[in-house]
Structure 1
């Protein structure tokens, strides 16, 4: 059971969804996104997603709090990218997934993006929000009123 618990982290779920998207790219090779625009957009999405994740991790490290989704937060981070999104790392994951789907011309994999969002929200976001709500009470309520969950 400890192995399963250690696998229940967002990078594992992202890897599963990326693998599925990559495999789906082979099912309909002629059904793709024509022209250079999708590749350009894919680059922006992948690069933006990675940048968002790096900036969020830097903010969390600066505030000396955990990046582990099952860990106990030492601080409520509200600066940097957290001024715009309460979940910038998960948002970065979604941008990365969407970008690679475009890059791989995996049209059939597009429904994986909202499915990934649903899994991440249920497995990680809602439990994290519950822990933050209990620990930081008024401060977290004010933060939720100022900053949206995603964008």
Structure 2
């Protein structure tokens, strides 16, 4: 049996990365302040946060309605290709990156920007690749067709 068939990961990396890198940005800013001071930066941050949270909630509702797991370390019972998953194979992870950028803008903390990029990179290698292996093992050709139609990120 394929090791990826049951579940993609042992650890729910994406939420752990989001929380730990957010805390890292806050701590780094305390010791090495990097300000972003542009006109309207807080408004931009608020808009980005709102958009990210809306995408997250939309994706979570879509997964819930499809009766499959929201947790990234559990096995999927259904291949979800509609809702925000019709635009991105990883809308929650993309929203997490936008959320970090928004928090950085709102707090005027520039540390969030490189750490948001690091979040995307680590999420790709620790979660996305394993999740895609899980989905190909579970859903085969259906998942391959979906990958041809929908981009991984945006």
TM over 0.5: yes
For residue 28 of structure 1, the aligned residue among 23, 27, 33 is 33
Equivalent residue, structure 2, for 1:17 = 21
Contact 1:33/1:107 (8 A) holds in 2: no
Is 1:45 the counterpart of 2:48 in the alignment? yes
Structure 1: segments with no counterpart, 5+ residues: none
Instruction: Return the alpha-carbon distance in structure 1 between the equivalents of residues 29 and 105 of structure 2.
Output: 10
Deviation at 1:7, TM superposition (A): 6.2
Range that drifts further, 98-107 or 8-17: 8-17
Instruction: Return the alpha-carbon distance in structure 2 between the equivalents of residues 98 and 47 of structure 1.
Output: 12
Structure 2: segments with no counterpart, 5+ residues: 1-8
TM-score (norm 1): 0.88
TM-score (norm 2): 0.87
Q: Deviations over 1:86-107 (max 9, x none)?
A: 0111111111111001111112
Cα distance change on mapping 1:57 and 1:108 into 2, 3 Å: closer
Deviation at 1:113, TM superposition (A): 1.3
Q: 4+ runs of 1 displaced by more than 6 Å?
A: none
Deviation at 1:71, TM superposition (A): 1.1
**Equivalent pairs, count:** 145
Provide the alpha-carbon RMSD of the alignment: 1.7
